[in-house]
Structure 1
Amino acid sequence: MIATGPRPVAPFSHAVEADGWVFVTGQMPTDPDAPDAPLPPGIEAQTRRVMENLRIVLAGIGLDLEHIIFARIYLTQFERDYAAMNETYQGYFEKGKLPGRTTIGVTGLAVGALVEIDLVVKRPD
């Protein structure tokens, strides 16, 4: 668990590491400083909050977004939000250096979120 990380919405660890591979649990668009506050409105704001929460978790274990190997993104309104989420998401990475990724449309997410992102990360040797 990362002390400064978002409050978990279920029983899980923020990240688990095995042999230099780090599996980061899906993060929600909740505010770590105000976990009971309403979620940010809209997919762009929720994507930004999720990415910032992922940064917090990664920083807590000495890593950053550049160490991501693979991301899984879950969207409750896939057709409506896919393009806008992509636009926001790609801004967190150096041009031409994106991790592998799958995006999945789902019927619902915890806390009524529009987006959730989990990661597979590799610690540098």
Structure 2
Amino acid sequence: MPPEFHLFSNGPRPVAPFSHAVETDGWVILTGQMPTDPSAPDAALPSGIVAQTNRVMDNLALILGELDLDLSHVVQCRCYLTEFKRDYAAFNEAYQKYFPVDRRPARTTIGVTALAVDALVEIDCIARRT
């Protein structure tokens, strides 16, 4: 089957030309999400790494929900932090609340120099339909 490209009207407004998710053969690849509010895309970003991480995770959950999936289907995450040294511990505290201890996806966390919309964090993920 050819890939399916998903862009959801109630999802976060894209900050670049991309789909919210692409699905092929039961695999669902979600574009990195920013800490923007889907209901107020021009509002200021939440303040601090914890609030931004929560918003990003909620945005990922929203996109998964549009696909009749949830965070339990996530098998891998890539996380990008602009202030890695400063924010890594607090980021982990916020992030870990979204996954049970025995069902944490594989993960890579990368320090970067900048992100779109001056975000502190961006996360993309891969999910699998079961």
TM-score, scaled to structure 2: 0.94
Amino acid paired to 1:46: Q
Query: Does structure 1 residue 59 correspond to structure 2 residue 62?
Result: no
Q: Pick the aligned partner of 1:11 from 7, 11, 17.
A: 17
Q: How many residues align?
A: 124
Q: Partners of 2:8 and 2:127 in 1: how far apart? A: 16
Partner SS for 1:107? coil
Deviation, structure 1 residue 11: 0.3
Q: Pick the aligned partner of 2:84 from 78, 91, 94.
A: 78
TM-score, scaled to structure 1: 0.98
Deviates most, 87-96 or 62-71: 87-96
Q: Partners of 1:119 and 1:51 in 2: how far apart? A: 10
Amino acid paired to 1:101: R
Which structure has more relative contact order (CA 8 Å, sep 6+)? It is: 1
5+ residue gaps, structure 2, are: 1-6
Deviation, structure 1 residue 100: 0.2
Partner SS for 1:96? helix
Deviation, structure 1 residue 96: 2.2
5+ residue gaps, structure 1, are: none
Identity of aligned residues (%): 65
Name the counterpart of 1:47: 53
Q: Pick the aligned partner of 1:111 from 91, 103, 117.
A: 117
- Provide runs of 4+ in structure 1 moved above 2 Å: none
Amino acid paired to 2:18: F
Amino acid paired to 1:86: N
**For the aligned residues, what is the CA RMSD?**
0.5
After superposition, the C-alpha distances for 1:72-106 in whole angstroms (9 at most, x for unaligned) are: 00000000000000000000111221000000000
After superposition, the C-alpha distances for 1:31-65 in whole angstroms (9 at most, x for unaligned) are: 00000000000000000000000010000011000
